[in-house]
Amino acid sequence: MPSACTQPVGCHEVRYIPLSYNHADSQASALRLVLTVNPHWKDAEGRIEFVRFTDGITNTLLKITLRAPGLSDEEIDKEAVLMRAYGNNSEIIIDREREARSHALLASRGLAPPLLARFSNGLLYRFIRGQVASPDDLTKPAVWRGVARRLGQWHAALPISEATSDAAAADSRDGDSLSLGSADSDSKLGQESTAVADDITPIVTRLDGPNLWSTLQKWILALPQTTEQERVRRKNLQKEYEGIVAEFDDGSGLGEEGMVFAHCDLLSANVIIQPRPKQSPLPEGFAETVDFIDYEYSTPSPAAFDLANHFAEWAGYDCDFTRLPTRSVRRGFLEEYVDSFSQHDALPESKQKAVDELFADVDRYRGLPGFYWGVWALIQATISRIDFDYASYAEERLGEYWAWRREQDGSRAKAGEKIPLREQRWAQEV
């Protein structure tokens, strides 16, 4: 069995296994990995089973269990391991060192399952028992109340100063220096990209270190530029990004200097609804207990972006805008969120004022998730081997952003064009 070293992650330690997952030899390579963290499974009674989850569109996710005789499903799940192997070239988009630190830090606060080990192209962590939510589930009051309460706890319980200080901690693995996801590694990526295309100069944002804005800058610098059309689009997106930062990076909002430690990818597949005893009828205002998984994109961000992004994900990958929350639903969600936030951190003003301000901010931010994921999908279209139409998805998401911009500047109304469905739904009261 290969040796496994221990790797510090800020004040936490995460085991490192010098092995990799091989997509072409899936079960055998996954078995080698899981036996490293659970060596007692090798000679145990029962059979080791693999269940592949297909909700994600970038990574491979396997649930690995030992189905030992006499154990209930719940007992088996307590020992189950999730293996997540990274998608092809995804390190271009995601800082994997920072992801591991985020996961370990969240786990130390009870906000993530224990991280068991890292390997060369992925992570092993404890399985969270429950039901993976669907986009339709997100629209159910009991579910969205649970998400709102959990997200309020997330944003309040983990100060970004602690998250970013962990992310910038010195580290090494097998004698090799690691890219740390710090401001220095962000600038290095920019230098490498601008060496190829010097028509873009990365801008300096208000705060040092990794955050929503520095992530977007990295992604724009990583956009393809093999054709004149791609170079022009890349430059136009950079110009738009600079305008976004000038407009939104103002230090307002909840958290430290207008930032909270945000999930930034709270789609339905990353929401786990915990099991509960059957109860009928449910009490008024009932909220499911939920957990969040997959912290690849977690970073300091305005709370309003994380909230607006979650609301956008109600539409799902098929971009069914009829599922988006109406004004009254968004307000109900934010009331639950603010109430939860206030239980873990002090609010700068009354709850009602916090809700009112967040409601306005989320409305203001509603177009930015389309820009964020549109840029992301343009990169994925060139690097991913997964069978998903990233190119069309990029156009769909960027289209959301441009439609929002046309509402903001009045050009859609001036042209006498019909309001897009997404904007119609967003403006709907009930």
Over residues 190-232, the pLDDT tens digits come to 444 444 445 899 998 888 889 999 999 999 999 999 999 999 9
Confidence class of residue 175 from pLDDT cuts 50, 70 and 90?
very low
Predicted confidence band at 93 (pLDDT cuts at 50, 70, 90)? Answer: confident
- Residue type at position 312: A
Phi, psi for 196 (deg, rounded to 5)? -85, -40
Give the residue among 39, 41, 48, 46 at the shortest CA–CA distance from 70. Answer: 46
CA distances from 115 to 282, 297, 299, 358 (A): 34, 17, 18, 33
What does the pLDDT look like over 40-91, one tens digit per residue?
999 999 999 999 886 555 678 899 999 999 999 999 999 999 999 987 777 8
At 159 the pLDDT is: 79
Average pLDDT rounded to a whole number, residues 224-248 = 96
Q: How far is residue 59's CA from residue 246's CA, in Å, rounded to a whole number?
A: 34
CATH 3.30.200.20 domain locations along the chain = 5-126
Domain 131-164+252-427 CATH (choose: 3.30.1330.40, 3.90.1200.10, 3.40.50.300, 3.50.50.60)? 3.90.1200.10
pTM: 0.87
Q: What is the mean pLDDT of the chain?
A: 87
One DSSP character per residue, 290-349 reads: EEE---TT-EEE-HHHHHHHHHHHTTTTTT-GGGS--HHHHHHHHHHHHHHHHHHS--SS
pLDDT average, residue stretch 401-426: 96
Our measurement of the distance from residue 10's CA atom to the centroid of its chain's CA atoms, rounded to an integer in Å, reads: 21
Asked if 381 contacts 394 with a C-beta cutoff of 8 angstroms, the reply is yes
- The ranges of the chain annotated as CATH 3.90.1200.10 are 131-164+252-427
Cis peptide before 281 (omega within 30 of 0): yes
256-302 confidence digits (pLDDT tens): 999 999 999 999 999 999 998 887 788 889 999 999 998 999 999 99
Task: Taking residues 104-128, report their average pLDDT.
Answer: 93
Element (H, E) at 19: none
Cβ atoms of residues 423 and 407 within 8 Å? yes
Region 30-45: mean pLDDT is: 95
* pLDDT value, residue 180: 26
**Which band of pLDDT confidence, cut at 50, 70 and 90, is reported for residue 163?**
low
Query: What would the CATH number be for the domain defined by 5-126?
Result: 3.30.200.20
CA dist 29 and 124 (Å) reads 13
Model confidence band, residue 94 (pLDDT cutoffs 50, 70, 90): confident
Q: Tell me how far apart the alpha carbons of residues 8 and 14 are, in angstroms, rounded to a whole number.
A: 6
What are the tens digits of pLDDT across the range 182-192?
Answer: 333 343 344 44
Q: What share of the chain is helix, strand, coil (3-state, %, to 5)?
A: 50, 15, 35
> Within 10 Å of residue 105's Cβ, how many Cβ atoms?
25
